[in-house]
Homo-oligomer: A and B are copies of this chain.
Amino acid sequence: MTAEPAVPGLDPHRSPSPGTELDEPALRVWRAFLQASVLLPRRLDEELQAAHGLSLAEYDTLLHIANAPDRRVRMSVLADRVLLSRSGITRLVDRLVANGMVERWACPTDARGAEAVLTGSGLDRLREAAKTHVAGIERHFLAPLDATDREAIEHGLGRVAEALDPCSQAMTAAPSRPAD
């Protein structure tokens, strides 16, 4: 008991080597973000899985294909959007193909390329799953946030994400409009 003063250089209450640690408020923001960033996707994944047998990544992939012109996307574009590696998206699409939600087509303009194309069944699955998923986002993410929180999170985390990967921002900023 009376807890050892904790590790110098790590515990916010002591400051042995300045610059090596976060002050208390900074630590609290960081931990709040870290916790939410683990717990929230995990919960949404569980709900999606339980209700529709889809993982969050699979859902997200279907959604990106569905929102693309003609409901077809190049594999590499898809990988960028879903924040997965090339091989990762190959395997994920393999699963969707095996379950009849997606078909793989050769790219007409570049014979090296492949396109993932949503099937009717895939669209149906997606539409069903969307109800669950949207409800989950509203309940677990949006509900606890007031207008100020939402504004700040969009702004702040938007900048954070943009700095980490400038490419992936097209989608976030201007959803499904060709030019903006």
Q: A10-B67, A25-B154, A148-B152 are in contact. List 9 more A-B contacts (CB 8 A).
A: A1-B178, A10-B127, A11-B175, A32-B154, A35-B161, A39-B160, A140-B163, A148-B148, A149-B152
Number of interface residues of A (CB under 8 A): 80
Q: A98-106, A108-116, A165-173: which one contacts chain B?
A: A165-173
How many of these chains are in the complex? 2
| A24–B176 alpha-carbon span in the complex (Å) | 11
A97 within 8 A of B: no
Residue of B nearest to A7 (CB): B66
Interface string of A44-61 (1 = CB under 8 A from B): 000000000000000000
Docked complex: A1-37 residues within 8 A CB-CB of B: 1-4, 6-7, 9-13, 19-22, 24-37
Q: Judging by beta carbons under 8 Å apart, are B21 and A130 in contact?
A: yes
In the complex with contacts A20-B131, A148-B152, A153-B33, A178-B7 CB distance below 8 A = no
Q: Judging by beta carbons under 8 Å apart, are A160 and B178 in contact?
A: no
25 A–B contacts, CB within 8 A, in A order: A2-B178, A3-B177, A7-B123, A7-B126, A9-B130, A11-B67, A22-B134, A27-B175, A28-B154, A29-B145, A33-B40, A34-B41, A36-B37, A36-B157, A36-B158, A36-B161, A39-B83, A39-B164, A39-B168, A43-B164, A141-B160, A148-B152, A149-B153, A149-B156, A153-B157
